[in-house]
Amino acid sequence: MLISDEAQLIIASNRSENTIGIFAPGPQPEVTKIAVGVHPNGLAFDAKRRVIIVANLGDPAIPGSYTLSVVDLDARQMRTEIPVAGPTRWTLYDPDADAYYVNISDPPQIVVVDGHDPSQIARLIDIPVVGPHGLDLDLATGRLFCACDAATLLTLEARSGKIIDRQALSGKPDVVFFNRQHRQLYVAVGDPGVIDVFDTTTMGRLATVTTEPGAHTSALAPAGDYVFAFLPASHRAAIYQVI
């Protein structure tokens, strides 16, 4: 799910029916559904051009199903599809570079799509470890944070793709959130069930916070003062105050 403050819209990927749903926040929302590629997952949004990039997981049994769907929000339809080399993971839009970044798990790489021409791949960033998964961006420093299945956190220069730091994680990661107010990064690791916390100034690990096994999804409050972890085994959500 992606929430756009600029457009006052919520965009959700509906993996089982190959659509995205778009609606405004509020009671009894009217949901507009748009057909996209196979098993949509990651979402990124250019609010100025009102273009959505949908990263599709695809299906190995369906040839050519690993794609990015480019959706025209105003026309309420998919404009084109961009083939990629493998299953997608997280994606985001960088307004400063005017570029979309999409993690591809296998082969391990980050796909870069130009915001001016979102019809093809502009360039590829090769990732030297297995399984790029969670992805976030520090706009102030132009760095990408890429958490990989190889229990490795990579920091890259977004524009060049150069790897500038590498840190060990507690296990195979999922969600990554950058806290720009506190200059911290949170990496959710479902097994053993922790959140690894890093200082993004030094990239040193500040803490490893216990959640519960299987807790691989988290969220960050807009003000950067709380981190939420969803606990599937106990059907709860844990709330952590940032200090």
Kindly report, residue by residue over 27-41, the tens digit of the pLDDT.
889 999 999 999 999
pLDDT, tens only, 91-106: 999 999 999 999 999 9
Average pLDDT over residues 124-141: 97
Tokens 């958490």, residue located: 147
Q: What is the pTM of this model?
A: 0.94
Count of domains in the chain? 1
User: CA of 112: how far to CAs of 84, 137, 151, in Å?
Assistant: 11, 14, 23
What end-to-end distance do the CA atoms of the chain give, in Å? 27
Q: What percent of the chain has pLDDT over 70?
A: 100
Cα distances from 94 to residues 101, 147, 231, in angstroms, run 8, 18, 30
Q: What whole-number distance in Å separates Cα of residue 27 and Cα of residue 2? A: 18
pLDDT given for residue 169 in this prediction: 98
Domain range for residue 102?
2-126
Please report whether residue 32 resides in a domain: yes
Instruction: Give me 148's structure tokens.
Output: 């990989």
C-alpha 4/C-alpha 95 separation (Å) is 13
Residue matched to tokens 């084109």:
80
| 209 occurs within a structural domain | no
Question: Which CATH number belongs to the domain containing residue 97 in this structure?
Answer: 2.130.10.10
Task: Map residue 16 onto helix, strand or coil.
Answer: helix
Neighbouring residues of 128: CB distance < 8 A, sequence distance ≥ 6: 108, 163
What percentage of the chain reaches a pLDDT higher than 90? 98
Q: Which long-range contacts (CB under 8 A, 24 or more apart) does 69-77 make?
A: 69/36, 69/37, 69/40, 70/118, 70/119, 71/20, 71/34, 71/36, 73/7, 73/9, 73/22, 73/45, 74/50, 76/22, 76/32, 76/34, 77/34
Task: Look at residue 192 and tell me if it is in a domain.
Answer: no
Decide if 140 is inside a domain. Answer: no
